[in-house]
Amino acid sequence: MSIVLILGVVCFDQLPELWTYPIWSFCLSLILYSIFLIISERSSFYKLRHLNGIQALLIIFFVGGYLTKLKYHDQKESHYTNLSAKISGFSGVIVSPVNERTNHFRYELELTQIVANDSLLPTEGKIHLYVQKDTLQASLRYGDHVNVFGRFYSIPKPGNPGEFNYKQYLARQNIYGQSFVKKRDLEIRQNTSLNRILEWAYKLRANANAIIDKHIPQPRENGIAKALLLGIKDHLDNDLKEAYSAAGAMHVLAVSGLHVGIVFLIIKLIFGRLQEMGKWGKFFFGALSVSVIWLYACVTGLSPSVLRAATMFSLVALSEASVRETNIYNSLGLAAFILLLFDPYLIYSVGFQLSFSAVIGIVYLQPKILQLLEFRFLILDKAWSITCVSIAAQIATFPLTAYYFHQFPTYFLVSNLIVIPASFLMLSGGLTMLLTDIVSTTISGFVGFLLQKAIWLLNELISYVHILPNSMIEWIYMDRIQLMFTYGIVFTFIVGLHYGAFRTLKVSGFLILLLLVWTLKRNETQFQKHELIFYEIKGKLAIDHIQGYSAKLHIESLKEDEAELLAYQINPYRLSSGLRPISEGIMTLKRANFEKKDVISLGVIGNKKIIILDSTTFHLDFKNRIAIDYVIVNKGAVKSLEWLKNNFSFDMIIIGNSNSIYYSKKMKKQAAKLNLKIHSLKEDGALRILLE
């Protein structure tokens, strides 16, 4: 059922017209299903049972698309995305806990009204509200009703090819706008209780956060403790985060399936004997397990990742407590089905995909890998068991990690031998610290001291693994087709080995052949590629000349502190094209044979003549028109495109990133009147030009 529901969601994104008249389609499907059901029961046509199943799956398929349409695409007329009025202020209510960024506190704000043309208009919908830091304390709480003096703007789309689509990412959370304000632009009217459970959960997390600050003041260990226990990653040290990522231990810093699984394991160790006390013992064990799991979820603030894991393990706990024999895969499928009914776009969540892939891999593969070796010594046996868990999880998730994160930790077996036992001990110690603080601050402080030392030791060990040679294979690229082929190969190979089916193994071989053909085709396409890319980089002119597998980046200037941002915007396309990172081929425009005469820089890149105008040009006058290919206008250098047309013969005008949006729009209007080709990097994003 879950797979069919997922197909419905994906199909809606690709073919939304199938759901144009959803009510009638649903009614027709229901009527057909009822007819097939009646006929199959009253006749001897036993084969019609298959039609009943097919009809039921079609209904689930339709429900997946309809839920997606209802939740994300059927916005009311009053939704702020449908309003065209010029906004000067707005009001709303804070519906999330604070998320601390480098320079801002971020909140989710549910809009209630906007101020437009001196009138109050009712509206709805969520935006991200960024409040500039002027103190170290967050000023807003869940349930605060606030007035904001300022505007909100739509989330910008990615400006460069291959760049992360943050706009789409937030749209799948029903967030389409953002506002950056200072504290003085806010007015808190009142605080009301929106949701008692959420309010209680956020208070629990805030209290737990304060306890960690009290007993673990050291910044690095404090950040790890908050990430491990509460899922708060705002205070993690960047170098430490990189070390955990390179060691393949990043999962310990994101509260999800591992942490909830450890909580469930603790419950089983303490209260597991209840399951041996008959029907009522199993009932009490199931009720206790679910209660503790959801209490822990509340302590973490009911974050989406914890909600997923809590739902999954609650169903697993209930299935174990059931008198009847149950199937773990059915429990996982039901958990996914329930979660997707509430939020269909969870299928696009990396955490959702990794969580279910890892759990399915561990459940199926770990027992089979475990049987390959036996050890008499308990320590070796436990180490082998943990190693099997790591191998099973990596087999199930490595295609996804390569697809999303483009890296693979080579020492994941070593790091997980350290991290998994350490996570169990530290999570147990952390929960003990939080619980004992209610009774005795002294005991809680002592446990916190031990926890801080344990975290320090774990950080040192992880940092040591990180500095080992070749600790991370990076710069891996896998497109969607390669991802599907890879999972097909893994699945058919495992099934073939399990059942000893040579035919299935032949399918694996065929999929490997298709993967090679697809990869060779991509390589051939890239080898024939010859293009210029004018990137959308704030305040900078950056031009990539790509010819096959050779690429040179031409840029005006580059300061050391700008390299990271530049790589974030340019490297995704380099990666998808099989090219090297920008750090291995940067040239300044001056070195690229660009000569500056007066206010004009003239040069050639990829056999294309390019001029750059970056100072006022109205005083210039040429006897003859100059023939070039592209004109780049920076810093508002050209006041009239008619002057440009009279003095230059060109294919296209490129409005650089150093110009304002107002200037860009003004130039576009002039270009339309003069029938000139124009491209604004700030408005239209990067420009790709194919060369012969």
HEC per residue, 176-224: EEEEEECHHHEEEEEECCCCHHHHHHHHHHHHHHHHHHHHCCCHHHHHH
AA letter at 250: M
- CA triplet 253, 386, 230: central angle to 5 degrees? 20
Confidence label for 523 from pLDDT (cuts 50, 70 and 90): very high
CA distance 307 to 260: 10
Least confident of 22-31, 57-66, 219-228, 428-437: 22-31
Asked if the model's pLDDT at residue 270 lies above 70, the reply is yes
Asked if the model's pLDDT at residue 590 lies above 90, the reply is no
For 353-401, the pLDDT digits (tens) are: 888 888 888 888 888 888 888 888 888 888 888 888 888 888 999 999 9
CA distance 222 to 208: 12
CA distance 99 to 384: 39
Q: Which pLDDT belongs to residue 136?
A: 60
Confidence label for 42 from pLDDT (cuts 50, 70 and 90): low
Mean pLDDT within 335-343 = 87
Asked if the model's pLDDT at residue 39 lies above 70, the reply is no
**How many angstroms from the chain centroid is the CA of residue 224?**
21
Mean pLDDT within 410-436 = 88
Asked if the model's pLDDT at residue 187 lies above 60, the reply is yes
Measured between alpha carbons, how far is residue 319 from residues 224, 397, 446, 471, 569 in Å? Answer: 33, 25, 38, 40, 47
Structure tokens at 151: 């505007």
Asked if the model's pLDDT at residue 409 lies above 60, the reply is yes
| Residue of higher predicted confidence among 587 and 427 | 427
For 288-331, the pLDDT digits (tens) are: 888 989 998 888 888 877 888 888 888 888 877 765 656 778 78
CA distance 430 to 427: 5
Q: Which pLDDT belongs to residue 315?
A: 84
| Residue of higher predicted confidence among 393 and 274 | 393
Mean pLDDT within 173-196 = 88
CB 222 within 8 A of CB 235: yes
- Select from 129, 125, 88, 128 the least CA-distant residue to 110: 125
CA distance 681 to 416: 45
Q: Report the predicted TM-score, pTM, of the whole model to 2 decimal places.
A: 0.86
Q: Which pLDDT belongs to residue 275?
A: 73
Q: Which residue has the tokens 């490997």?
A: 512
Q: Which pLDDT belongs to residue 183?
A: 85
Mean pLDDT within 198-210 = 89
Measured between alpha carbons, how far is residue 634 from residues 119, 540, 587, 660 in Å? Answer: 39, 9, 19, 10
| Residue of higher predicted confidence among 596 and 688 | 688
Confidence label for 197 from pLDDT (cuts 50, 70 and 90): confident
CA distance 357 to 361: 6
Mean pLDDT within 29-39 = 64
Asked if the model's pLDDT at residue 573 lies above 90, the reply is yes
Q: Which pLDDT belongs to residue 320?
A: 72
For 56-108, the pLDDT digits (tens) are: 777 788 888 888 888 887 778 889 988 877 888 999 999 988 888 888 899 99
Measured between alpha carbons, how far is residue 440 from residues 216, 437, 443, 446, 447 in Å? Answer: 16, 5, 5, 10, 11
Which residue(s) pair with 106 in the sheet? Answer: 99, 130
Q: Which pLDDT belongs to residue 549?
A: 92
| Residue of higher predicted confidence among 236 and 455 | 455
Residue 471's Cβ-side half-sphere holds a number of Cα atoms within 13 Å equal to 18
The overall average pLDDT reported for the chain is 85
Asked if the model's pLDDT at residue 40 lies above 70, the reply is no
Mean pLDDT within 126-136 = 85
Asked if the model's pLDDT at residue 34 lies above 70, the reply is no
Asked if the model's pLDDT at residue 22 lies above 60, the reply is no
Q: Which pLDDT belongs to residue 33?
A: 64
Structure tokens at 554: 């031409």
Q: Which pLDDT belongs to residue 335?
A: 85
Q: Which pLDDT belongs to residue 671?
A: 94
Q: Which pLDDT belongs to residue 31?
A: 67
Asked if the model's pLDDT at residue 588 lies above 80, the reply is no
Mean pLDDT within 433-437 = 91
Name, in order, each residue with C-beta under 8 angstroms of 35's C-beta and a sequence gap of 6 or more. none
Identity of the highest mean pLDDT range in 172-181, 556-565, 577-586: 172-181
